[in-house]
Structure 1
Amino acid sequence: MRGFVLVLICWLAACSDRLGHFAGVPATLVEVGGSRFEVRLRGTLAEATRVNPQYAPRLGPLRQQAATAMARVSGCEVRGVLGDQAVMTGILHC
């Protein structure tokens, strides 16, 4: 049991990386509709991190703004966007 807990703690520590899949990928700053995003690309995925302060933004409008930012940086069509008001991940179709 003690070994299982140790493995679980190590696994959780490995998963705590702030950027995860996009670690080490340079960001491109894009502004869309008054929101600023840092966009990172890796393979067929894009990550948009909103970097401007905004009080209680709704995900609906932000999702479209993030998709537009991802499309500008990648030059690809964005098929879907998931995430929250701060960090969104999009699926690219080039």
Structure 2
Amino acid sequence: MLLILLVLGACGTPGPEFAGVAPVRVKLGASVFDIRVAGRRAEAIRLNPRPAMRLASVGVPAVLAIERVSGCRVDRLRGDQAMMRAALDCGAGAPEPRRRETYLECDAFDLDADGGALICYPF
């Protein structure tokens, strides 16, 4: 029962980039979205229980909802049928794609007073 409550509670939870941004609820036809805008990025979370198997089935209403709330053109839309993220073109072009953070795991070898070797691997 606790697992079901946790899953249902996460359905409308924004990503970390949009935490603290109040959503704007938009209904377009049969689709209902919570839209959050932060700078030149936006997030749409689909709330209605209507089945949608692919992003293509809800992408157009999501783009229209994001453009209505942000006042900007959607340049790129990524995600799935439940949560979509958009890069916005507000006249200055869309923002650069975010680069994934790289974490390194390093090993030190042959350490002595003169130095040593450090080998790092991304993970």
Q: Match for residue 74 of structure 1?
A: 70
Q: Highest relative contact order (Cα 8 Å, sep 6+), 1 or 2?
A: 1
Structure number with higher strand proportion: 2
Q: Structure 1: which 4+ aligned runs deviate by more than 4 Å?
A: none
What's 1:46 paired with?
42
- Return the alpha-carbon distance in structure 1 between the equivalents of residues 14 and 85 of structure 2: 14
String of CA shifts for 1:58-79, please: whole Å, max 9, x gaps.
3113111111000000111111
Give the alignment's Cα RMSD to 1 decimal: 1.5
Alpha-carbon distance between aligned partners in 2 of 1:25 and 1:56, rounded to the nearest angstrom: 26
**Cα distance change on mapping 1:72 and 1:56 into 2, 3 Å:** closer
TM-score using structure 2 length? 0.59
Q: Identity over aligned residues, as a percent?
A: 44
More helix as a share of residues? 1
Query: What corresponds to 2:81 in structure 1?
Result: 85
Deviation of the 1:80 alpha carbon: 1.2
TM-score (norm 1): 0.76
